[in-house]
Structure formats: structure tokens, C-alpha cells
Structure 1
Amino acid sequence: MDQGGTMAAEPSAHFSLDRRTALAGIAGVFGASLFAPLARAAGYEPIPKINTGKPAVVFTPAQRALVAALSERIMPTTDTPGAIAAGVPDYIEHMMGDWAVSDDRDLILGGLAAIDARSMADFQKPALKASSAQQDALLTLTMNDAIPGGAKFFEAFRQLVLTGYFTSEVGIMQERSYLPVPGDYDGAYPASKIDRIFSS
């Protein structure tokens, strides 16, 4: 996978899943609340003029760093790599640059600004410089709509993080158990032995 979160031209011999196909499957989980850029990329909504040139630059360096920090709080590194290692921040900027319209970008940029403003009010520092616990608190306030536009931002941002992660090679091959060809059926397989979601 390259730094932009896209599949490399020469994928692993054990990894051949098309990212758009994976996106369509995961996006279906969000139903009617699916964030518009994801719906377009998954083929659920009409596609506007798409950027086919160089990757669009949407975020300032500070915004890009905050997107990375917040995405890692939503999908942190545990025994498997987190959002940053999976290329999620670059994926989010790609979605905002190539699949979003102005209203979609305004929602994300406005949410980042609101989080930063609340961090300055509560912790006297930008959200990027806040501790992990403080960033979690800011995300909780956002989720609970205690920040202007918070709930809409949080749902859109969460969807971007999850789809970016679970359609990445890291998400499919490490967070889940990748089965290129389903194995034998075992109706008595103990549920206690399942520690990963299977993907194929």
C-alpha cells in the first residue's frame, strides 16, 4: 500500500481484494446515514466531476496532523496497527479531495475547527497538542453534540476512519483473518476460538 492509502500496483499474492468492492460492502453497514463522499465512491450516489489529476490538497499541515491524531484515537494501535499505520489520514484527504463537494468538506473542516476551539477553551492548547485522554474527551463531546455541529461531524469522520481502515491491506489482512478461499465448513467450530472477523 502506498502512502496515500491506495493499493499498490503489485499487490501481495495473497491480497487481491478490490478496494472499491470492499468499500461497498462496508459502507452498506451505515445505511441511510452513509456520508455522501463514501456513497459516491461506493457507487450508491451519482458521481460529480472527479479529480483525476494529482491528489487534491484539502488540509493545512496542522489540520492534516489533527486528522491523523483523531483517527488514531478512533482506531488506535493495539495488537494490530492503528489508523495511521493503515494510511487512514491520507485516505480521508483523498476522499475529501476527490469525492467530496464543498458542503462535505465544510462539515469536516468545520468540525476540526470546532474541536480545536473547544480544546483551547478547556485545555488552553490546540487539540493536536492535547493528551490522548483529552483528545478522547473532545471526541466524546463531539459525539454527544456538545460542540457546534459535533454529531454530524463525528458520524462522518467515524465513517471515514472505519472505511479507510477496513478497506486497507492492514485492516483486511491483520485486523481480520484473510481467507482468499473459504475453508471447510465446520458447524461445531467453537465461538471462543474466533478472535478476528474473517474477510475474503
Structure 2
Amino acid sequence: MIDRRGALLTMAALFGSQLFAPLARAAGFVPGVRTPINTGPVSPPVFTPDQRALVTALCERVMPTTDTPGAIAAGVPDYIEHMLSDWAVDDDRATILDGLAAIEARSRRDYRAGAASASPEQQDALLTLAMNGALPGGAAFFENFRQLVVTGYFTSEIGITQEREYLPVPGRYDGAYPYSSVNKVFSA
């Protein structure tokens, strides 16, 4: 099976030159940085319990559960905290933490409730504000957060085996294979 660093390299190609720095470090694009990816407990913790609840809610809005499991089932909130703890420098973490604070403040102002407990439609509206740069630091937050969610999801076991069709050794070459019989994107 593909290892997480290999999957990160594949995801890095998707994001190109706009790759969030912690992802580049974890994928091995930064010279001299080649340490094992931590799969144990996060040390030191990055999020407060309220921030963790918000990250969890927003992850599910970016990669929701449909006919396949979503971001929460794939462990994306833990992945994000690992990335920020193990691979991010202070400025990288600040982009995410400041964005979470801006979303929380806007939710309390507009909905009189914390963003984690807002309705899915309200959370979508908050993420849209961030994406469109209508929140302080929102555009940078959204782009980096989205990269973390998508990368965390598609490098997880669920993302590789359930969302995509995992073929460790693809079968024969067939240049005229009909896409209608694929139904999923292949990963290897």
C-alpha cells in the first residue's frame, strides 16, 4: 500500500506552487527536512477544545460525508493538528489560528452562537466569507485550510481505498478503457 509521504507527494503535485509550507515540509520538498511522519499523539497540542470542535465542523463542511465517509471519519482534524504541530512554523500556525478566530468572531456577531455549533448552512456561509476574503486573513486561511483538509482526506486510508479505487499494481494496459466503467479515480 502507498505510504503517507508518497501520497503527500502526489497531492503536492495537485496544488503546485501554492502548496502550504507544512505540507511541503512533510512531503520532503524542503532540503534537509526528512523526518518520520508522527502518527502518535500530537505534541505539543495546537488547538484548544473549542478550536478543535470548530476545525472538526469545518473539515466536514469541506469534505462532507456522502456515499463515502467524510473528513471526520478519515481522521482529518487529527491530521491537521499533527501537521500544524510537527511541520508548521509559527507563521503557518498563525494563519490557521487567526482564521479560526475570525470565523468564530463573525459567527458570534452574525449568528449569536459559536461557529462549531452553527448550522451547516451558516458554517458554509462563514467559509464562503473566508474564501472570498471578507474576513481578516480569510483568503489565506481558506486556501491553506482547504489544502490541509483535501490532503488529509486523500492521504488517509479511507480516501485512498474508499473514495478512490486503490490498485497497487494496475492490470493490463487498455488505451480504450471506457471511463463509464471506472466510476472512481484510480490511485496507486
- Normalising by structure 1, report the TM-score: 0.88
Residues 54 and 83 of structure 1, relative CA distance in 2, 3 Å threshold: closer
Aligned with 1:72: secondary structure? helix
Note if 1:98 corresponds to 2:83. no
Residues 50 and 180 of structure 1, relative CA distance in 2, 3 Å threshold: closer
Percentage of identical aligned residues? 68
Post-superposition Cα deviations, 1:62-92, rounded to whole Å, max 9, x if no partner, equal: 1011101101100000000000000000000
User: How many pairs align?
Assistant: 185
Q: Which of 19, 26, 29 is matched with 2:14 structurally?
A: 29
Post-superposition Cα deviations, 1:20-76, rounded to whole Å, max 9, x if no partner, equal: 011011112111110000010011124399997952210001101110110110000
Residues 49 and 167 of structure 1, relative CA distance in 2, 3 Å threshold: closer
Task: Tell me how far apart the structure 2 counterparts of residues 123 and 193 of structure 1 sit (CA, whole Å).
Answer: 46
Gaps of 5+ in 1: 1-15
Note if 1:177 corresponds to 2:165. yes
Once the two structures are superposed, the pairs formed by residues 7-156 of structure 1 within 5 Å of their partners are 16-46=1-31, 47=33, 55-56=42-43, 57-156=45-144
CA RMSD of aligned residues (A): 1.8
Deviation at 1:122? 1.1
Stretches of 4+ aligned residues off by more than 4 angstroms: 48-54
Task: Tell me how far apart the structure 1 counterparts of residues 183 and 128 of structure 2 sit (CA, whole Å).
Answer: 27
Residues 139 and 98 of structure 1, relative CA distance in 2, 3 Å threshold: same
Structure holding more helix per residue: 2
- Normalising by structure 2, report the TM-score: 0.93
Task: Tell me how far apart the structure 1 counterparts of residues 36 and 64 of structure 2 sit (CA, whole Å).
Answer: 31
Residues 48 and 117 of structure 1, relative CA distance in 2, 3 Å threshold: farther
Gaps of 5+ in 2: none
